Structure formats: C-alpha cells, structure tokens
Homo-oligomer: A and B are copies of this chain.
Amino acid sequence: MSARREATRQRLFQATLEEVSAHGLDGVTVDRIAERAGLAKGTVYYNFGGKNELFSAFLEWGVDRFAAMLREGAAGPPREALSGLIRAELQFIAEYEDLARLLLSESWRTNQAWEATALRIRRQAIDVFTELLDAVRAEGGMRPGLDTGVAGSALFGMALTAALEWRTLAPDRPLEEVHAVLMRLVDDILRAERA
C-alpha cells in the first residue's frame, strides 16, 4: 500500500463522515463523497471496489475511533474504570453524534453486507463492560451467579440509550449530569451486589 494510496483512503473516510453528518445515511452517494474528497468518482472504485466496500471500511474506521475512546476512558480500578468508560461513551456520542447514530443504527440492522462490521462494533464496546464486571467479581465485590455477558450489554445499552435521548431532547445539558444519573444506577448495583 503506497503512502499516496493510504492518504487517498483517509480522505475518502473523512469525506464519508462529513457526508453522513451533513446529509444523513440516505444522502451518501459515491458522487458526493468523491466530490467532497476532491477526488474522481473512479478513485473510490479503484481503492475500495464499490460503495459497499467503502462503507464497510468506513464503519470499521469509525469503530476503531469509538473503541479507542472507550479503552482510553476505562482506566484504573474497576469502579473508576466503569465511571470512565461510561463517560467516554457519553463523550463519543456527544462529539461524533452522527457517526455514533450511524454505528449504532447499523449495528442493529439486519444487513448481510456489513454484518461482520456490525458485530465488531458491538463486541468492541460491550466486551469492555463485560470485562470490567468480571474484574469486579474477581475482587469479590459480587454475589455469585451473575451472567456478566448479559449484564455487560445491559450496561452498555443503558448508557447508549440515555446518551441518545440526551442529545435528542436536551443537548445543552452538561454531560456530567447525565453521567451522574447513570453512575448512581451503576453504584446502586455495585453496592447491592457487595452487600
């Protein structure tokens, strides 16, 4: 992969992101992406082979950003890590709202073309929650028998849905307020489990 080619791919990813944000998923056309990237339409086909392949690669690119942000947030001992993780999830959704909506919307659709990518989105995100819950259990802070797989997806979805509601209904509200509500619920759970 030549450096020139790699630069071209990055420009196309960025242009795709901007198009999705500006015109929504339905407004994404190869024509517009190429134009925004300042490239010829054929270049998309030369580099990715087709619209689906471009989109699939773009989603992976987006997932990697998402996953990197989550991993960065989830540092420290379990309880702090959970707090940081949820804050990172809220931050990502606030900063990259369009990308987030796209990733999450696609991750639940039934779509053969991007199935692998969709699965990857969920795994990247949910597994971090599950692993933290396992760490809590390993520390002895949890009654036996909890299915941390289900609980991990539950906590992920909890923050996700609250975040999207926040962006839709009260985007001016400070992130920390939403974070506080979610952490109160999480702390409730941790406390009850420890008891």
Contacts and interface: CB of A to CB of B under 8 A. Distances in A.
Interface in A151-175: 151, 153-162, 164-166, 168
Contact of A164 (B108, B146, B178): B108
A139 interface: no
Give the oligomeric copy count.
4
Given A24-B111, A181-B146, A185-B151, A162 B157 contact: yes
A178 B150 contact: yes
A110 interface: yes
A40 interface: no
A147 interface: yes
Interface string A82-104: 00000000000000001001101
Given A149-B165, A154-B181, A161-B161, 15 more contacts: A24-B110, A105-B108, A147-B181, A150-B178, A150-B182, A154-B159, A154-B161, A154-B162, A157-B157, A157-B159, A157-B160, A157-B162, A158-B158, A189-B192, A191-B195
